[in-house]
Structure 1
């Protein structure tokens, strides 16, 4: 602490006030090093920030004890998925949802995608990009949201659009019984709601399309900082054996309808008729 000149300290404090006012000491220190070439310990920075009323030590809450589920040993063996609604763009843009895919073995972010809301389509789009880039994981671990499970007892055994799609791809659906069971993705959401919000601000990004275009850069930096090595070096992902056209079909909305003799069917209160394949063609 005493090794730094008053001029250096003043410069650091000025940067904190101008660009990193609500950053914690750890993230502020990373940004000072990455963006400005300034290196000092987190502890020194914390003391300076407290002295300048830029940081308050947080009281540690007495956490309820939950036995953490042991990590799967292999990368790609289990992917935790979740949607995180939040004011990601603060007051610069609308509230939206971040779809998060995280590897259970390594805590690596495998997929991020902003969407207006947590919908089947948002998960389908995230999954499509995921399997194209990484291959097919063995299982997806989600909560019991209606996107993932039909919760109506009268429709027991039916599959949701998303679950039908992943089973077609050979992915096992697993549903968590408690939020604590998918703690890794929940903790990642908390980290993202701090770090990603601030990164979006620094990048001056305020819309979904721009954010999605930039997210791969963030994922690379995040995984370098937080991902760990798996217990087993085997990559459990399987090769994607579907063409782009086949994948698009699998990840589309699908519904069965009865075709009448006149080649008509009902869908969402509307009637549709197929064009005749040949002269006078009708079902017999």
Structure 2
């Protein structure tokens, strides 16, 4: 018997002996008068054993069979679902094995078998979280993480992703071999095409996001000079997106916590699909991200999103692109990455004069155009004209020079004759 049942037995014994009344017994045991009368009747019929719960020692009707528990334990210890935590393992059992059990049941089976948890829980720390933004699209957090996503089946990849601060929804993601500018441009392109232009973006202080030049001095700031923007910063400024650069990982903690969730789940999902290359990983990534959003995304405080449409005068191909500057030559030509281009200037547009600095933009698919005074000028590859042969080059290509022989009336010869006559 438990301590509570012993306490009830002592109270009912005093009630049967009429030392206390029914109301006092109910107050003493913390029960209602009707429950005390029921327990008194059972006590008089069966004695102290009547107060013990009748299901004690019996197997519940809805308990899992021992064979099913052993099967779940073998799957948990096998290589197929290696590394899955309790919640994810319950989801995988429901999807791939048609076994519907709760995460608490998985945890109970694991503890009974003496297996430790796959994820160690750290001691809680005092932290005041920043509240979420009230509307979707007010703030995106963008970052990248290197991880062995394909395990031993392929190379180590970087996952680049952007998450909405209000909903926790992954708006775009892509796998890359390295953390590069083209990958971040692809993430922004996917997110903007799917949802719209966000109001602000939160990133770290990688040189992709900020110019590597030194910050401006006080004299330069007073003179009105502005700090130069990186290529990514120029694209955000052209789209009207406010850019915040965090100084600590905790400042953009929402995307940092996303990596822990994806590293626990995506590795197993990619293993089950036998993904072995970068192309295969990017092919199945949209499906995995959609499932993640359906399970973990939350509703914002305000249903109306804050996304903006892309301005009509802008083309994302020529905004999210690589930028550089070149000088126009005398023949309306410029050189870029070892190729000579000619500016295809329309008749209605004034051509840039020679020695003018223009901006050259290269899109993600390799198209190269010139940007001058807010207008897009197509570029046509051209072959340079062969240089004229110089006299020096002609002399170098000529044959061996014949020996020089003085003429018969050369002063040198006359001097020789005079000297001979004198002798």
CA RMSD of aligned residues (A): 2.6
- Point out which structure has higher relative CO (alpha carbons under 8 A, 6+ apart): 1
Whether 2:203 is the aligned partner of 1:142: answer yes
User: CA 1:273/1:238 → structure 2, altered by over 3 Å: closer, same or farther?
Assistant: closer
Match of 2:289 in 1: 219
2:241 to 136, 151, 171: 171
> What secondary structure is seen at the aligned counterpart in 2 of 1:257?
strand
Measured against aligned partners, the alpha-carbon deviations of 1:228-253 in whole angstroms (never above 9, x if no partner) come to 1101111111122358x921111111
Match of 1:255 in 2: 324
Q: Does the 8 A contact of 1:88 with 1:96 survive in 2?
A: yes
Measured against aligned partners, the alpha-carbon deviations of 1:211-236 in whole angstroms (never above 9, x if no partner) come to 11111111111011111110111111
User: CA 1:40/1:276 → structure 2, altered by over 3 Å: closer, same or farther?
Assistant: closer
Whether 2:136 is the aligned partner of 1:81: answer no
Whether 2:113 is the aligned partner of 1:113: answer no
Deviation of 1:54 after TM superposition, in Å, equals: 4.7
Task: Name the stretch that deviates more: 46-55 or 248-257.
Answer: 46-55
Match of 1:184 in 2: 254
Deviation of 1:36 after TM superposition, in Å, equals: 2.2
Q: Does the 8 A contact of 1:261 with 1:282 survive in 2?
A: no
Match of 2:342 in 1: 274
State how 1:1-284 maps to structure 2 within 5 Å.
Answer: 3-18=63-78, 19-52=80-113, 54-56=115-117, 60-153=121-214, 157-242=227-312, 246-265=315-334, 267=336, 270=338, 272=340, 274=342, 283=353
Distance 1:169 1:224 in 2: 29
Please list every run of at least 4 consecutive aligned residues from structure 1 whose deviation after the TM superposition is greater than 6 angstroms: 275-278
Deviation of 1:265 after TM superposition, in Å, equals: 4.2
User: CA 1:160/1:239 → structure 2, altered by over 3 Å: closer, same or farther?
Assistant: same
User: CA 1:209/1:178 → structure 2, altered by over 3 Å: closer, same or farther?
Assistant: same
Deviation of 1:190 after TM superposition, in Å, equals: 1.1
| Larger Rg over CA atoms | 2
Structure 2 gaps of 5+ residues are 1-58, 217-225, 355-423
Structure 1 gaps of 5+ residues are none
Distance 1:170 1:92 in 2: 42
Structure-2-length-normalised TM-score: 0.61
Q: Does the 8 A contact of 1:111 with 1:126 survive in 2?
A: yes
> What secondary structure is seen at the aligned counterpart in 2 of 1:150?
coil
Deviation of 1:97 after TM superposition, in Å, equals: 0.5
Deviation of 1:140 after TM superposition, in Å, equals: 1.1
Task: Name the stretch that deviates more: 142-151 or 34-43.
Answer: 34-43
Task: Name the stretch that deviates more: 169-178 or 73-82.
Answer: 169-178
User: CA 1:197/1:276 → structure 2, altered by over 3 Å: closer, same or farther?
Assistant: closer
